[in-house]
Chains A and B, each alone.
Chain A
Amino acid sequence: MTATEVSFELNGRPVQVGVEPNQSLIEVLRTQVGATDVKHGCGEGVCGTCTVLLDGEPVNSCLLFAVQADGASVTTLRGLGHDEGNLHPLQESFLEHGGSQCGFCTPGMVLTAHWFLGQNPRPTREEIREALGGNLCRCTGYTKIVDAVDDHARANRSDHEEENRVA
C-alpha cells in the first residue's frame, strides 16, 4: 500500500494531502486538514451528519474514500459561514428558531437545506420535510428545523420580491 497525493478544493481553498486508499473523506477532513465542522455519525450513510457538498451536491463523506474526491470541490459548513457575526442567514434562522439542540446533526441539516433551497427556492413544508428526510436528529427537534428552513426560504423570497419592486 502506498500513500497517494490527493488534491481538492476545500471551501474555496486548494488542499493537497497524502492519504491511504482506505481512508474515508471524513477522516481526512477531520484529522488531516482540520475540518472538524464535519461530524462523524453512523458511518454507514444513513444519518446525514457527515454531509458535505461535493461539486455542489450533497454526499456522505463517510462513504467516500478521500482518493475519490481528487480534483473535486468540497464544501463543509464553514464554507457557508463560520463564526459569530459571519453566520449564513440560514444558520441565523436555525439560531432564531432553536433548530439546534445538541447540535450534532446541525452541519448536515444546514448543508442539505442550503443545497435544497438552491434547487427549490419556494418549497412547501412537506417538500422541506422530504428533502431533510435522510438527516436524522436524535433530539427529534424536527419541527423547529423545518421552521428554520421554511422561514429562511420565505425571507429570501420577500428580499427578492423587494429587489424586483425597486428595480
Chain B
Amino acid sequence: MYAAAFEYVRASSWNEAVHHLSEAGDEARVVAGGQSLVPMMMLRLAEPTVLVDVGRAAERSIQGTDGTLMLSALVRHVDLERSLVVAEACPVLAEAATHIGNIRVRHRGTIGGSLAHAEPTAELPCLAVALGASVRTLGPGGERTIAADDLFVTHLTTSLEVGEVITEVEVPVGGAGRGTCFLEMARRTGDFALVEVAAVVDLDGNGRCAGVRLVVGATADRPADVSSAAEPLLGEEPSERAAQEAGRAAAEALEIGPSTHGSASYRREIVGVLARRALLSATVRARGALGQDGDRR
C-alpha cells in the first residue's frame, strides 16, 4: 500500500501550523500520531495534497489546576495511561485509553487527533462528551473553545473550520464525590468497539446522586448522550435495580443499526448490560472517593 503523493510540512508551533494550513486550503490535513489518518491514506481513502505535521508543535503537557485538567492536544494515549496527574484527577481517561488500538497505536496516537478524527467507535470522543470536556482551538480567525458535544457532527466530521486545529483539551474534574467508568465490548483486543459506554456519577455528602451522565459510543454516527435515561437515579442512593432500569431505558432510547460483527438486537442488549455495569462501577468509585467504602477510584 502506498499513499498518494503529498507535500510534507513540519510545524514547530501551532501558529505555524495554522499558517501552513491556510496557505494549503482544504486539501491539506493535519497529522500528529497518524494512526487513523495514515491507514486511510495508505488505502487511498484520504489523499491530502499537503500534510502538516504538528507532532513537534508543542510540549505534551498535562496539568491539573483548579478543578480542571488541561491536556495538550499532543498528549498520547500512553501518556493518559501512565500520568499520575491523570490518575489523580480523571482516572477514567486512562481506563478508556487502554481500549485504544494496540500498544504501538497508543504510543503514537494523540488525544487531539482522536477528537479531530471523530471516528464514531473511538473511545475518547465518547468519554469527552460524558465528561463535559471542551477543546481549545486555533484557526485563521483566532482562538475559540468548542464543547465536545458541539464538536462531533457525524462520521469523521467535526465542527472545526478549514485551517483550524485543536491545541488543548480541557476536562472538568468534578467534585469530591465523583465516580467514573468506561466500558467497551469488542470482538477481539484492539478491534473497533461494538458498543462502548461512559458513565459519570456525582454523589453528595449523604451518598445521594446529585448528577449523572451516561454516553454511548459506537452505535451511531457520533456519541449518543442518554443521560436522561439515568435521571431516575437523581436524589437517590443508586441501587442495582435503578442501574439496571437506567441501562434498559438507555438501550431503548437509542437507534441502533446492525454492524458487521453484531446484530442490532445484540448490540442493544450489550448497551443495557454495559450501561448498568458502568453506572454501578461509577457509583462504587464515587462512594470510595467519599470514603464511604472500598474502591478508591
A interface vs B, CB < 8 Å? 1, 4, 20-22, 24, 43-46, 48, 51, 54, 57-60, 62-65, 67-68, 112, 116, 130-131, 133-135
Contact = CB atoms under 8 A, between A and B. Distances in A.
Interface stretch (B96-104, B148-156, B176-184): B96-104
A63 B108 contact: yes
26 contacts: A1-B6, A1-B7, A24-B42, A45-B35, A45-B102, A45-B105, A48-B102, A48-B104, A58-B103, A58-B104, A58-B107, A59-B104, A60-B104, A60-B108, A63-B42, A63-B108, A65-B38, A67-B8, A67-B10, A68-B31, A68-B34, A112-B103, A130-B189, A133-B103, A134-B101, A134-B103
B102 A68 contact: no
A46 B43 CA distance: 14
B38 A63 contact: yes
Interface in B40-74: 41-43, 51, 53, 55
Nearest to B55: A68
Contacts of B147: none
A133 B102 contact: yes
Contacts of B108: 59-60, 63-64
B4 A45 contact: no
Contacts of B39: 44-45, 63
Contacts of A4: 8
A60 B10 CA distance: 20
Contacts of A48: 102, 104
Nearest to B108: A59
Interface in B87-116: 101-105, 107-108
Contacts of A46: 102, 190
Interface in B1-45: 1-8, 10, 31, 34-35, 38-39, 41-43
A138 to B, nearest CB: 14
Contacts of B107: 54, 57-59
A59 to B, nearest CB: 5
B71 to A, nearest CB: 19
Contacts of B105: 45, 60, 134
Contacts of A63: 34-35, 38-39, 42, 108
